[in-house]
Structure 1
Amino acid sequence: MAKKQPRFFCKILTLLLCALLGVSLSLLLGWSKVTAFSQSHLESLSLYKGDSLTEKSGFYSPLLIGEQLRESTSHISNSDLIQQGKELYQAERFAEAATIWQQALKAPQENPLVEAMVLNYLSLAYQQLGQWQQATQAITSSLKLTQNSKSTTQQAKLIFAQALNTQGSLQLAQGQAEQALNTWQQATAAYTEVGYASGRIGSLVNQAQAQQALGLYLQARKTLAQVEQALENQPDQQLKITGLRSLGNILRLVGDLDDARRVLQQSLAVIQGAGHVSKQDLSATLLSLGNTARTQGDTEAALVYYQQAATNASTRITQIQAEINQLNLLIATKQLQKAENLRNQLQPKLNNLPPSRSTIYAQINFGKSLAKLEKGQGESAKLLASAVQQAKSLGDQQAESYALGYLGGLYEHQQWSNAQELTQQALQLAQAINAPDIAYQWQWQLGRILKAQGAIKPATAAYEVAFTTLKSLRTDLVAINSDIQFSFRESVEPVYREYVELLLNPGENTEPSQSNIKQARQVIESLQLAELDNFFRSACLQGQIVPIEQIEQSAAAVIYPIILKDRLEVIVSLPQQPLHHYSTKVAQQEVEEVLEQLRQNLEKPYTTPEGKALSTKVYNWLIRPMEVGLSQSQVKTLVFVLDGYLRNIAIAALYDGKQYLVEKYSIALTPGLELLGPKPLNKSKLKTLVAGLTEARHGYSPLPNVSDELKAIESEVPSEILLNQTFTSSALRKQIDSLPFSVVHLATHGQFSSNADETFVLAWDKPVKVNELKDLLRSRNQTKPEPIELLVLSACETAEGDKRAALGLAGVAIQAGARSTLASLWSVDDASGTQLISKFYQELATKKVTKAEALRQAQLSLLKDPDYRHPVHWAPYILLGNWL
């Protein structure tokens, strides 16, 4: 894998000296960009989101090992320098710690292992400072010394294992996830060899993070299950307490919130059952529980946990962090009087904290909270200015960039010149330490400031740089923690949409150029992919992909609607023509309200005048301006790349006043501009694996008509049937692995949701979640590289009341690795569903038509049937992906 820039969630080394705080097991988790405790992104660090420094996430530290070695080499003259460096690092004075350790290296060394140990420390300090080349050199030298050493003592092996751990963190920080996984596997083996339980457990957790970053969801969960089992059998209570807390934090990051809370409560139970209660462990676990409850949306429980964490805190900084969490949550839930009371208690406490990165971040987060309160702007500015000065005194450029940037943001709406100057300073610092995850925020902020002053061209340029930076961070957005799932729409998505707005509206009475339109389309494409990656926490679109406009024999028009704050933009691509663009001045809120009302009307079993009117209104927005162009181009298929809530409506049911859209065109949807290996379905090799449930399972009602549906499919195409007890997840995998099915048809309950954990299909033995479904359906790729041609999800539906539920449907289509997916947006009548599916397979097997046309003919067969002519029966069926 090519070396990439150090990127998202990679500079998180501030926990290193926890062992020196009296904790027998320190809390290092590999210092990787995926861990819970990133401090390179203040939005995820912000205390109400949970990534506070009190949540120590790992299991062991090179400094603990160093203490063991130091005891056996106490005669070494530079030991005082090593200890001084540790103390500076613990105080988060990283530049000074690095300087002291450099001095320690200059002293004569009798034992090369001491030098290896110090180089390991130095690499971690350099990573904190964003000095990646120096970090790499230091850890490379450390590994060489340990490998060349003839010592076979336990200390030597432990230092070698820790050096591997640090190297893995650096590799993951630089985008080398596969190498990091391999390195951490070696570290696990090394710790196992010397019987160092905490090291083994910690390196397993590191492995899980690398697996998560690679999109190996099931492998990551299996690795974490190993960790949980090891902790259950662990007699060392301190290791069990810390390990369970760390495991709970990681489970929260990978989105397993229920398991995260369960494991954290186990940690709490062990603490409370111990002979003496450690306030440090108690407050840290309570804070983690608060953060998890907050992520789950359980704000009442979160507030209670935060209050308890503050009450039991053993250090001032931990107490303050818990109280800032609480303050932010009180503000978010509009409990303003309680927030004001807490604010008054917090302000004097901050003044007495010693200088450190934790103190700076506490000032920043408190300042951000104050800015949301009435008359809090002035105090917020003072806190942020103090944070800037403190960061300068510590030589901490990362913290200084954050403080300057947020101070610039505070002035964004009132003092433009100050805001611009501060933002540019923050950006320069972020670029100096090669931190694009910080830089994009200030590039975006600079664009907003310039736009507000009417400088459209410079603003567009600033947005372009921010977009480019975010695009380079895409693989980091895949490994993003679950907190970002709540801030993605606030801290990432607006960059894309505001950039598109500038591209398509370059000035008054000025039409966008072709290059601007192309770029706008590309920006929305990048947003779609980032959104899907963020949703699933793994890279979705993989394999051989082809731009949809290069597909031969397509005869298709591609339509890209884009929902902006005050308008609906539409870009249309017709065969062999320049891109077309038109827009409608309509507020985003109105668009979403109309789409919601249309969806509700389409799901009613009877036609209403209001429903027809709404359908026509949306038709006028999306299709009417291009009716003539579509007709002249003689296109047969309309391919939609839908945006936002448009994904939840049945495009086939748009009405021009005389006809539904499906009566004029075949219709397909695609999550992006590219498809996985598009080609026509080979009718001569058509073979189907059909699995279904007719009986009630896991709290879901029976589906009696599924039996008829399966018989209808079997009568049209050669099929292998798994019904009820024979339809287990393992049986499905076995069939997919053993036989070359081109179509997989699942006739069972299922749900598509904006929450990946609530997106599943129901097998006899269990609900199969979307990430498991990916692993199951793609398992044959190891022996049969050809993907499944068509995945049919019958009886599945989008989650009720979830405005972004179709995101889950798009994700399933991509994660399954199938060229095409046929599914329904809402639950349909069993009898009409059976008729439509039967007609679809009949068209597919006996006629030379595309999959999109086969679906169209099946829908028209219901439209012409007096019993099923209403859209509720035929409109929800949609084809995603390759329509050929």
Structure 2
Amino acid sequence: MARKKSKFIRRIGVFLLSILLSVSLTLILQWHVVQASPTPHSQLIQQGKELYQEQRYIEAVNIWQAALKAETDVLSQAMVLNYLSLAYQELGQWQQANQTINSSLDLIRKSTQTKPAKLILAQALNTQGSLQLAQGKAQEALNTWQQATAIYTTAGNVQGRIGSLINQAQAQQALGLYLQARKTLLQIEEVLEQQPDKQLQTTGLRSLGNTLRLLGALDDSQRILQRGLNIASGISKHELSQTLISLGNTAYAQGNKETALKYYEQAAATATIPITQVQAQINQLNLLIATEQRQKAVSLATQVQQNLTKLSPSRTTIYASINLAKSLMQVTKQPEQSAKLLATAVRQASSLGDRQAESYALGYLGGMYEQTQQWSNAQQLTQQALQLAQAINAPEIAYQWQWQLGRIFKAQGAIKPATAAYEVAFTTLKSLRSDLVAINSDIQFSFRETVEPVYREYVELLLNPGINLEPTQQQLKLARQVIESLQLAELDNFFRSACLQGQIVPVEEIQQSAAALIYPIILPDRLEVILSLPQQTLRHYATNISQNEVEQTIEQLRQNLEKPYTTPEGKTLSAKVYDWLIRPVETQLSQTQVQTLVFVLDGSLRNVPMAALYDGQQYLVEKYSIALTPGLELLGPRPLRQSELKTLVAGLTEARHGFNSLPNVGEELKAVESQVPTQVLLNQTFTSSALQKQIESLPFSIVHLATHGQFSSNVEETFVLAWDKPVKVNELKELLRNRNQTTSEPIELLVLSACETAAGDKRAALGLAGIAIQAGARSTLASLWSLDDESGARLVSQFYKELATKQVTKAEALRQAQLSLLKDPDYRHPIYWASYVLLGNWL
């Protein structure tokens, strides 16, 4: 019960309170455009704006509809229709939002194209773009916002231009166009640098900093927001407090809780607007709880509750009430008080006609009853919340209540309805993929609490359908599909865009007659494994062991593998993991023609090389070729042809950008040259632009980068080092995939021979999978830890020799190269050979 409570407590998180802060700058500036001429109904229009800004959307709609009926000026009608579309979007009324913005655009285009008309057109285009992005049409949104930017630029409207450029960057990110998004944001920064209006500069920098945070560029976000803070200090306390909250959100995203807490404290102390103070205080409260400062949290919770009662109902106050309710539950352990706050939030949302806020309030009230095990109330409220979310076509909200229903059914032992509810939640999440980025970017920061558990808990139900019941083949296939989908979702979260659309190759279509596929799945109380053998039904087996013990064992094993001497503990740990994953099916594997084991690894298991698992007498690599894959996301798997072994090799031997020299890289490059036709870029000639030029001009099948690099769970900290700069994972995509303009063939093999996983990062191997995906290569050979000595050059030389002279798969070539070191007494320890892993196509 305690574990379930903690999940609910964290589920809302800081992100609900940052919704207003993450609103596009365009919406902040929507009201800047001036009408062509004053009309008798300007007062009504202004009244609607004020209601909209107070988040009283239904009332704003009613006022604007009255203004529209009475208005005779065409441009004024167009502007009111534009405002109506914005309000309908907030209410989730997508059909009305589309109708009103289309009507607005029709009126503008039929009118005389004066400067005011063009500015209103740009404003309407911005509104249309936000609607398109909200509906998952990122490319259409980008095109629309580019039109708006062009109009604002021609008209010299700096505010509108900045807002539409920020929107462009968000659409580019959703499309996976990372470098373009960065260029757009750099353009905004340059415009703001030259802006004499300090108020606009502050607002612009804050919006830019918030956008950078949502795109994952946390260091840049902190830098921009700090500049904004310096300017805001001389303008107004309101601007200062807003920027401090943004800085707190960025510090929180960076994992700097104490720094974030200080920013929130300062924001609350300087706030001049009550709702801003409440926002800062609730974020502060959440962090006091997270840092276990209970006494301060209790005191602050009482103060926030008093402040909330003074605020008029709005979406922001409703979300604040929800956040306060979950915080009170954690610090006071009094569900009645929290339930009362949530019930008030439900009533307020209903009175405002705000179905999105009402769905959230009902759902979290249902979650409160779930905690107190009042199952009937919990189910009823959750179903109401789900109906509202579905009515406004908000799948990013609906999946949360589908998941909650599944938990409620499961807790009562109703396995079939629980499984059905989880299936719907899983299907909804799969359909969202890119929309989770475009619609609700803040959810990125709580992926492990709000998305990942849906997959794991669903797999748990599929593999344990009831007491004394074994899963059917259909359930095993579905469990395999779910765990592969989790791998995709993790990569989407890593990149902040759906990066693998259209690349799925079902396992049944892969010529893998000599390969067995092994899917380990880490659950809270056991380790499940699904095994797929050629032309056989799926089977599964489990070890009753806690997730904590699995992770501790893996961490200790990794530490022992990196020690340059053999210890009994290391082999004992390696044998322990072997017993979990391989021992139960040793006989079945030996009775088949299986030559290759392909692992779809889960969680911390990705951080250790499967080749080093030990059966008591032999390492696993002595019996099988081994490959890894993130759910068989392969680019047309096929064997590598010896006639195509043309290699581009780039490396650094000298110290650069704070990284040590790699003197043995020279020997490694010579070894590659001795085995296959090679073009070399070394030191000064290995720049990012030179690499791109070579890849575009010559048809290399292999790209070999012998240089420092790091794999991390943070996309900003995943890179390979060129002479001129670190090339981040998202830039690597642009460098390597531009060859698509000259050839449709992907790179067959990307080799990263001196890279390593980030120290202390349990999910660092996500970065390895990320680089493999972004490179667009069929296969990636990389090292989990870096050893700059003769052993690396020897392994690489033998690997290429196997590829060039023998008809073997890439997995077998790696195996033979590893065995050549394993058989040498000087290099028998796994530290010298085990770090190299093959990801992707093993053929």
Partner of 1:138: 100
Report what 1:207 is aligned to. 168
Please say if 1:220 is aligned against 2:187: no
**Contact 2:24 2:167 (8 Å CA) reproduced:** no
Partners of 1:545 and 1:677 within 8 A in 2: no
Give the alignment partner of residue 692 of structure 2, picking from 725, 733, 737. 733
Structure 1 residues 48 and 532: CA distance shift in structure 2, 3 A: closer
Match of 1:98 in 2: 61
**Equivalent pair of 2:645/2:676 in contact (CA under 8 Å):** yes
Aligned 1:410-809 pairs, distance under 5 A: 410-414=368-372, 415-479=374-438, 484-542=443-501, 544-552=503-511, 554-809=513-768
Q: Deviations over 1:546-592 (max 9, x none)?
A: 22442226411111111111111111111111111111111111111
Distance in structure 1 (CA, Å) of the matches to 2:172 and 2:10 = 24
- Tell me the amino acid that sits aligned with residue 397 of structure 1: R
Instruction: Mark the CA change 1:183 to 1:56 in structure 2 (over 3 Å): closer, same or farther.
Output: closer
Change (3 A) 1:254 1:45: farther
Counterpart in the other structure of 1:169: 130
1:53 to partner: Cα distance: 2.8
Q: Check whether the contact 2:91–2:354 (CA below 8 A) recurs between aligned residues.
A: yes
Q: Aligned pair 1:254/2:215, yes or no?
A: yes
Structure-2 separation of matches of 1:55 and 1:780:
36
Q: Which amino acid aligns with 2:725?
A: K
> Do 1:295 and 1:483's aligned partners in 2 also have CA atoms closer than 8 Å?
no
1:480/1:640 CA distance change after superposition, 3 Å:
farther
The amino acid that maps onto 1:89 is Y
Count, aligned residues: 835
> Which one of the candidate residues 245, 249, 258 is aligned to 1:291?
249
Alpha-carbon contact 2:174-2:497 (below 8 Å) kept: yes
In structure 2, how many angstroms separate the alpha carbons of the residues matched to 1:54 and 1:685? 53
- For 2:361 and 2:352, the matched residues in 1 are separated by 13
Tell me, in whole angstroms, the C-alpha distance in 1 between the residues paired with 2:671 and 2:622. Answer: 25
Q: Distance in 2 between matches of 1:50 and 1:821?
A: 41
Gap change, CA 1:371 and 1:280, over 3 Å in 2: same
Structure 1 residue identity aligned to 2:35: L
Residue deviations 1:84-131 (CA, integer Å, cap 9, x gap):
322322221111221222222222x43211111111011111111111
| 2:120 counterpart of 1:155 | no
Compute the displacement of 1:484 (Å): 3.7
Which position in structure 2 is the counterpart of 1:367? 325
d(CA) in 1 for partners of 2:441, 2:778:
29
| Alignment equivalent of 1:73, drawn from 38, 45, 50 | 38
**Structure 1 residue 390 and structure 2 residue 314: aligned?**
no
Q: Distance in 2 between matches of 1:827 and 1:452?
A: 47
Letter in 2 for 1:393: S
Counterpart AA for 1:129: L
872 and 65 in structure 1: CA distance in 2 versus 1, 3 angstrom threshold:
closer
- Which residue is equivalent to 1:3? none
Deviation string 1:642-680 (CA, Å, 9 cap, x unpaired) is 011110111001111221111111111101133111111
Match of 1:342 in 2: 300
For the 8 Å contact 1:97–1:125, the answer to whether it is kept is yes
Query: Mapping of 1:27-42 within 5 angstroms?
Result: none
1:487 counterpart letter in structure 2: S
Give the Å deviation of 1:73.
Answer: 2.6
Matched, 1:182 2:149: no
Q: Secondary structure at the match of 2:370?
A: coil
The one of 31, 35, 41 aligned to 1:64: 31
Show the 5 A alignment for 1:227-266.
227-266=188-227
Q: Is the 8 A contact 2:712 2:767 kept in 1?
A: yes
Q: Is the 8 A contact 2:527 2:547 kept in 1?
A: yes
CA distance, structure 2, for counterparts of residue 696 and residue 613 of structure 1: 38
Counterpart code for 2:732:
L
> 1:42 Cα shift?
12
Deviation larger for 221-230 or 795-804: 795-804
In structure 2, the gaps of 5 or more residues are 1-7
| Structure 1 residue 614 displacement after superposition | 1.6
Specify the alignment match of 1:323 in structure 2. 281
Deviation at 1:545, TM superposition (A): 4.3
1:716 touches 1:841 (CA, 8 Å); kept in 2?
yes
CA contact (8 A) 1:44 1:483 kept: no
Residue identity in the other structure for 2:655? A
Distance in 1 (alpha carbons) for counterparts of 2:469 and 2:348? 47
Contact 1:557-1:574 within 8 A present in 2 as well: yes
* Contact 1:567–1:586 (8 Å) recurs in 2: yes
Q: Distance in 1 between matches of 2:698 and 2:17?
A: 47
Q: Does 1:267 align with 2:225?
A: no
Q: Distance in 1 between matches of 2:89 and 2:552?
A: 48
Q: 2 CA distance for matches of 1:444 and 1:481?
A: 18
Cross-structure match for 2:20? 53
Calculate the TM-score normalised by the size of structure 2: 0.97
Contact 2:520 2:581 in 1 (8 A): yes
Q: 1:553 to 1:332 in 2, by over 3 A?
A: closer
**3-state SS, counterpart of residue 824 of structure 2:** coil
Post-superposition offset of 1:540: 2.5
Normalised TM-score (structure 1): 0.92
Whether 2:781 is the aligned partner of 1:859: answer: no
Q: Could you tell me how far apart the structure 1 residues matched to 2:751 and 2:21 are?
A: 47
What is the DSSP-based 3-state SS (H/G/I as helix, E as strand, rest coil) of the residue aligned with 1:677? coil
AA paired with 1:431? Answer: Q
Match of 1:195 among 146, 152, 156: 156
Secondary structure of the structure 2 residue equivalent to 1:546: coil
* Deviations, residues 269-297 of structure 1 (Å, cap 9, x unaligned): 1223x4xx312211111111111112112
Whether contact under 8 Å (1:560, 1:640) holds in the other structure is yes
Which runs of structure 1 show a deviation greater than 6 angstroms over 4 or more consecutive aligned residues?
41-45
1:468 and 1:55, CA in 2 relative to 1: closer, same or farther beyond 3 A? closer
Contact kept, 8 Å, 1:479 with 1:534, in 2: the verdict is: no
2:236 paired with 1:278:
yes
Given residue 311 of structure 2, which amino acid in structure 1 is its aligned partner?
L
- Identify unmatched segments of 5+ residues in structure 1: 1-40
1:411 counterpart SS class? helix
- The equivalent residue for 1:873 is 832
The structure in which a higher percent of residues are helix is: 2
Which one is further off, 357-366 or 159-168?
357-366
Structure 1 counterpart of 2:774: 815
Report the Cα distance in structure 2 between the residues aligned to 1:209 and 1:367, rounded to whole angstroms. 32
Q: 1:751 to 1:65 in 2, by over 3 A?
A: closer
* Rounded Cα–Cα distance in structure 2 between residues aligned with 1:146 and 1:413: 53
Deviation at 1:375, TM superposition (A): 3.2
- Residue 32 of structure 1 is matched in structure 2 by none
1:566 corresponds to which letter in structure 2? D
Aligned with 2:35: secondary structure?
helix
Moved more, 139-148 or 374-383: 374-383
- 1:88 maps to 51
SS of alignment partner, residue 297 of structure 1: coil
Report the CA distance between 1:866 and its aligned residue.
1.0
Moved more, 830-839 or 292-301: 292-301
Contact 2:783 2:835 survives alignment (8 Å) = yes
Amino acid at match of 1:169: S
Contact 1:377 1:410 in 2 (8 A): yes
Report SS of the residue matched to 1:69.
coil
